[in-house]
Every structure is written in structure tokens, then in C-alpha cells.
Structure 1
Amino acid sequence: MRIEEAIKQGKFSNNFHKALVNLIFTSNWLRDANAEIFKKYDILPQHFNALRIIKGRHPKPVSAGEIKEVLLDKASDVTRLLDKLVKQGYVKRQLCEYNRRKMDITITPEGLNLLEELETPMKAFYEDLGTRITSEEAQQLSDLLDKIRT
């Protein structure tokens, strides 16, 4: 469905305006589609992102600041995200033995199991995108998005 139909707007001031509206609309659409997958596990896309970051450093610990640096959603409250993941048993938080002002965050076996369980629905999600655009188009889109941010 074209953006004009999706938001019931026939005119845009120019192609840049149209592209920006389409980008925001599509970003929200993708977020909502991902949220449906995560709802079953009582997590949000931001929790999934944080778990992937923590797993990427496993078995070494990571600090909340390091997570915040690379988190996709920069507006997220990392402390609150981590609080929920600790409460659910997916991550462990303890004082750093070398710097008592810093917390070390590590993923638990339950967190690793959750990520493993999520591999199948996430792979299906990516494969579904592959039915909509080609690999080359995905690369072109990624390159264009990179270009917008430079």
C-alpha cells in the first residue's frame, strides 16, 4: 500500500517531505510488527535490543553506559529496561569489582534461552521482508538510510 493510501493524504509539499513521512510511518509499522513477536515473551523491542547487546559481550560484562551507546532507541531509559530484564531473570547486575561506581551486567542462561527461542520468529520476520524487497534493494535502502544520516 502506498503511503498516500495508508495515511489518506494525497499531497506532500515535496518528495523529501513524502520520504520522511514514509520513513516514520514504516519505522512505526516495523516496530509494531516486532512488538507482536515480543509480546508473547513479555518484552519490548528495546529489551530484545539490550539482550542482544549484552549477549554480544558474553561472557564479559557490559555497563549500562555501554548499552546506552549502541541501543537502537536512544530515548530508552536503560535503567528501567535493565530493571525489568533483571526481574524476569534474563540478566544479572552486580557491582564491578574494579570500579564500585559501575554496574556489571551479564546475560543469564535464561536470557540466552530467550534469545535462542526468539531466533525462529525473528528469522521468519526477516524472511517475510525478503518477499517484499530483494537483497539488493535491502542493501540500497540501507545505503540510502546511511546517506541520510551523514
Structure 2
Amino acid sequence: MPTHPPTPPAVLEHQLYLALQVLGLRLKDDIEQLFKHEGLSTTQFNVLRILRGAGGQALTCGAIADQLLNRDPDVTRLLDRMEKQGLIERARSDQDRRVLLTRLSAHGRALVDRLDEPLLALHRQQFQALSPQQMEQLLSLLRQVTASSEVL
């Protein structure tokens, strides 16, 4: 019977990567469940937050795409669906009729505002095992990793 060499232990970096992937997927699943009850995807919610953050200012499709957390290859189609749902309003720019500007509708604003508290409660539940100091430390470490990965 042939013998196989022992499997090398996973390196620390790979263990960290896998732990972050598992955590990220679990957090994403929780969020998707919350938004599912409102008929929203995480990307649609992200668009609503981006537009709310813009105040009353309308944004172009490109400006919205640049701020999305997860890249969507067809932001125009995403915005078309959101307009049909009454979550956003779009109009041609007065300065350049080729440019389509997007802003939050009253319905979209009410929805994103209504989700603030349930989302905060979910995040509190997700991170309840950590003290505020540990959360600050984790956030700092994740920002360091993010900043160093932007160089790549």
C-alpha cells in the first residue's frame, strides 16, 4: 500500500482568508434575509443608501456604479428595475440631454429609512460576541488589510 506524504498545515494567511470568507458569506446571508422581506437585493439597498447620502442631489449611473460595494456589470438595468419599483426617479439633465440623472423617490427614501433600525439591530446581533474595544481593533486591522490590498 503506497504512503502519501502528510498534508502540510494551512498557512496562517490562508486560514485568515478562509475565516473572512466564511464570515462574509454568513453576514451577507443575514442581510439578504432582512432585505428579502422588502423585495430588495443587497445591491438595490446599496443604491438607495448611495442616493440618500447624496442628499437631494441627483447622480449619474456612473457615479452610482463607482460607489457600489459590489460591482454590478449592468447598473443601467438595475436602475431600470428600481425605477419600475418606484424606488428611484430618473430624468434627463437640463445641461446635457444625453445624461440621465437618478434620485431617490419618496417611496425609496421611506424604505431605506425604515430599514435603518432593523439593520442596526442585525449588526448588533452579528457582532455581539465582541466588545466595543474589540470591534474598534478589528475595524482598524481590516482597514489596514484593505489599504495594503489596494496597492496590488
Indicate yes or no: 2:95 matched with 1:121: no
Task: Name which one, 1 or 2, has greater alpha-carbon Rg.
Answer: 2
Give the Cα–Cα distance (whole angstroms) in 2 for the partners of residues 12 and 88 of structure 1. 51
Indicate yes or no: 2:15 matched with 1:18: yes
Return closer, same or farther for 1:16/1:122 CA change in 2, 3 Å cut-off: same
Moved more, 96-105 or 47-56: 96-105
Return closer, same or farther for 1:114/1:76 CA change in 2, 3 Å cut-off: farther
Indicate yes or no: 2:147 matched with 1:146: no
- Spell out, residue by residue over 1:8-43, the C-alpha distance to the aligned partner (whole angstroms, 9 max, x if none): xxx852110000011111111111100000001111
**Structure 1 residue 76: deviation in Å?**
5.0
* TM-score, normalised by the number of residues in structure 1: 0.86
Partner of 1:67: 64
Is contact 1:12–1:18 with CA below 8 Å preserved after alignment? no
Partner of 1:105: 102
- Spell out, residue by residue over 1:62-91, the C-alpha distance to the aligned partner (whole angstroms, 9 max, x if none): 111111111110245322221221111010
Unpaired runs of 5+ in structure 2? 1-7
**Structure 1 residue 120: deviation in Å?**
2.2
* Percent identity of paired positions between Structure 1 and Structure 2: 27
SS of the residue corresponding to residue 104 of structure 1 reads: strand
Return closer, same or farther for 1:128/1:116 CA change in 2, 3 Å cut-off: same
Partner of 1:47: 44
* TM-score, normalised by the number of residues in structure 2: 0.85
Partner of 1:82: 79
Give the Cα–Cα distance (whole angstroms) in 2 for the partners of residues 79 and 132 of structure 1. 40
Partner of 2:26: 29
